[in-house]
């Protein structure tokens, strides 16, 4: 049996930032992830607001593929609106790795290819090279992504998702504009084309509807979208790569804390349910979770865990609450998407009207 002060499950942005927040001399912090760093395809388009970089404890400039300046929203009628919305397109593998290296430099232990398998309320059983190993942590930070084991088993959370398929195609025309495509068929979601140097990330995300074969639906619709925009955007027709991923769209739980388990990032439904963005929330909420856990271990006072509930809410709740409300309105009025977007899409002024 291994004893640690803090066990962090998941080495994505939420887990790495939680580790950075929790790290302190005298506190043992172990991060584990079922994948190896850089293994597998990136399940992310990598768009973040430029301001996020001011909140990072370390420079992540090395993970920027390119800056973007404008968002172009293409409505179902094909009318286009351009908005100043500066951001960066990241290489997510590089970004996560920068945070991970920083966590390591703070004295955190990291194990890869180790899967968290079972938690009996006291000990966590992990599979390390297929062999079970028991860990007894004082506190667990569950940053294990959209299908979080801990969120499913210990929190009364709704789990609805946008299912997203993303292609990576060659891009022959550099651009600083990223595009969002709304279409009646992309129920509860949208299509996107984000320039990333000499490639573009083109995807479609939709909310699950029973009765359709989601993968083939997304696949044929992305191919159609690519054919429509290829000439104008300078895109190749043939993808280099495709990935499939889930984006949580249900509200976060009332409390992120249950006994000694703390949720952060996609595991906690901290994702924005209109845009689908979750990197910024994972970064800031992961860090706040880590800080509160550190104070709890240092003082032995568990009330610092509820401080995390307050702090993350102060930072993100108004924005997410508005987005959940707008999402409800958007779905109710999906039959008249063009009109619904004038109040339910983030670039319209009326979106912020309450
Ligand atoms: C197609 C797509 C495009 C997206 N594009 C954007 C975008 O442009 N901008 C944006 O802000 N957000 C985007 N997102 C959302 C963004 O990817 C997530 O919000 C973000 O990754 C959340 O970080 P996280 O650390 O909470 O979770 P993750 O990044 O999912 O990390 C969780 C980690 O936990 C590990 N794990 C899971 N279960 C276990 C287990 N049992 N044992 C051990 N390890 C485990 C996983 O291997 C993973 O490494 C996109 C998502 C998708 C699917």
- 171-185 residues labelled b (16+ CB within 10 A) or e (exposed): beeebebbbbbbbee
> Packing angle between helix 279-299 and helix 303-332, nearest 10 degrees?
160
For residues 10 and 265, is the Cβ–Cβ distance under 8 A?
yes
Q: How far apart are CA 5 and CA 14, in angstroms?
A: 18
The helix or strand, by DSSP H or E, that contains position 280, with its residue range, turns out to be: helix 279-299
- Measured in angstroms, how far is the CA atom of residue 190 from the centroid of ligand 1? 19
CA-nearest of 130, 189, 127, 182 to 160 is 189
CA-nearest of 200, 219, 17, 187 to 99 is 17
For a pLDDT cut of 90, what percent of the chain falls above it? 90
Residue nearest to ligand 1 atom 30, measured at CA: 145
Q: How far apart are CA 283 and CA 298, in angstroms?
A: 23
SS3 for 165? Answer: strand
Instruction: Decide: 204 in ligand 1 pocket, CB within 6 A.
Output: no
- What's residue 271's pLDDT? 98
Instruction: Decide: 115 in ligand 1 pocket, CB within 6 A.
Output: yes
CA-nearest of 262, 351, 252 to 305 is 262
Atom of ligand 1 nearest to the CA of 268: 26
254's tokens: 């009332």
- Measured in angstroms, how far is the CA atom of residue 298 from the centroid of ligand 1? 29
| Intra-chain end-to-end CA distance of the chain, in Å | 53
**Interval 224-240 mean pLDDT:** 92
Atom of ligand 1 nearest to the CA of 33: 44
Q: Quickly state the pLDDT bin for 42 (edges 50, 70, 90).
A: confident
Top pLDDT among 212 and 134 is at: 134
Residue nearest to ligand 1 atom 29, measured at CA: 12
For a pLDDT cut of 70, what percent of the chain falls above it? 98
For residues 247 and 271, is the Cβ–Cβ distance under 8 A?
yes
Q: Quickly state the pLDDT bin for 36 (edges 50, 70, 90).
A: confident
**Interval 140-160 mean pLDDT:** 95
Is it the case that residue 208 has pLDDT exceeding 80? no
Is it the case that residue 158 has pLDDT exceeding 90? no
Q: pLDDT per residue over 253-280, tens digit each?
A: 999 999 999 999 999 999 999 999 999 9
Report DSSP letters for 171-199, one per residue.
ESS--SEEEEE--TTSTTSEEEEEEETTE
SS3 for 47? Answer: strand
**Interval 3-12 mean pLDDT:** 98
SS3 for 154? Answer: helix
**Interval 215-242 mean pLDDT:** 90
Instruction: Decide: 15 in ligand 1 pocket, CB within 6 A.
Output: yes
- What's residue 120's pLDDT? 95
- What's residue 209's pLDDT? 62
**Interval 150-176 mean pLDDT:** 94
- Measured in angstroms, how far is the CA atom of residue 275 from the centroid of ligand 1? 15
Atom of ligand 1 nearest to the CA of 270: 19
Q: Alpha carbon of 347 to those of 187, 190, 344: distances in Å? A: 19, 14, 9
Q: How far apart are CA 154 and CA 83, in angstroms?
A: 41
SS3 for 297? Answer: helix
**Interval 89-101 mean pLDDT:** 96
- Measured in angstroms, how far is the CA atom of residue 143 from the centroid of ligand 1? 9
Instruction: Decide: 137 in ligand 1 pocket, CB within 6 A.
Output: no
- What's residue 212's pLDDT? 61
Atom of ligand 1 nearest to the CA of 243: 1
Instruction: Decide: 13 in ligand 1 pocket, CB within 6 A.
Output: yes
- Measured in angstroms, how far is the CA atom of residue 221 from the centroid of ligand 1? 24
> Packing angle between helix 13-22 and helix 92-105, nearest 10 degrees?
20
Beta-bridge partner residues of 131: 128
- Measured in angstroms, how far is the CA atom of residue 14 from the centroid of ligand 1? 9
Residue nearest to ligand 1 atom 19, measured at CA: 278
Instruction: Decide: 97 in ligand 1 pocket, CB within 6 A.
Output: no
Name all domains of the chain by residue range, CATH numbers in brackets.
2-342 (3.50.50.60)
Mean model confidence pLDDT for the chain = 95
348's tokens: 């319209």
- Measured in angstroms, how far is the CA atom of residue 120 from the centroid of ligand 1? 25
Instruction: Decide: 47 in ligand 1 pocket, CB within 6 A.
Output: yes
Atom of ligand 1 nearest to the CA of 10: 34
Rounded (5°) CA angle 208-160-85: 90
Q: Which of 50, 247, 252 to mutate to test the pocket of ligand 1 (most atoms within 8 A of CB)?
A: 247
């Amino acid at each position: 049996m291994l004893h640690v002060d803090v066990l962090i499950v998941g080495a994505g942005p939420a887990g790495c930032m939680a580790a950075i927040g929790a790290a302190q001399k005298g506190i043992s912090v172990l991060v584990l992830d079922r994948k190896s760093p850089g293994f597998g395809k990136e399940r992310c388009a990598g768009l973040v607001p430029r301001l996020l970089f001011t909140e990072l404890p370390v420079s992540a400039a090395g993970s920027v593929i390119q800056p973007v300046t404008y968002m172009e929203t293409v409505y179902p009628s094909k009318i286009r609106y351009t908005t100043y919305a500066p951001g960066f397109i990241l290489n997510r593998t590089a970004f996560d790795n920068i945070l991970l290296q920083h966590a390591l430099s703070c004295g955190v232990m990291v194990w890869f290819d180790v899967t968290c398998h079972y938690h009996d309320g006291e000990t966590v059983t992990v599979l390390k090279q297929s062999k079970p190993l028991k860990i007894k942590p004082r506190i667990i930070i569950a940053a294990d992504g959209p299908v979080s084991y801990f969120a499913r088993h210990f929190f009364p959370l709704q789990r609805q998702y946008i299912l997203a398929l993303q292609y990576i195609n060659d891009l022959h025309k550099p651009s600083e504009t990223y595009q969002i495509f709304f279409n009646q068929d992309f129920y509860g979601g949208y299509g996107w084309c984000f320039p990333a140097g000499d490639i573009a990330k083109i995807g479609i995300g939709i909310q699950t509807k029973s009765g359709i074969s989601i993968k083939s639906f997304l696949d044929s619709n992305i191919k159609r979208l690519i054919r429509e925009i290829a000439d104008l955007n300078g895109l190749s027709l043939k993808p280099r790569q495709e990935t499939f991923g889930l984006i949580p769209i249900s509200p976060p739980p009332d409390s992120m804390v249950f006994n000694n388990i703390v949720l952060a990032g996609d595991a906690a439904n901290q994702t924005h349910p209109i845009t689908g963005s979750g990197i910024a929330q994972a970064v800031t909420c992961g860090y706040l979770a880590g800080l509160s856990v550190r104070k709890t271990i240092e003082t032995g006072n568990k009330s610092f865990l509820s401080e995390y509930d307050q702090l993350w809410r102060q930072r993100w709740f108004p924005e997410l609450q508005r987005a959940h409300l707008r999402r409800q309105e958007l779905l109710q009025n999906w039959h008249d998407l063009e009109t619904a977007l004038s109040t339910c899409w983030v670039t319209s002024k009326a979106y912020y009207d309450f």
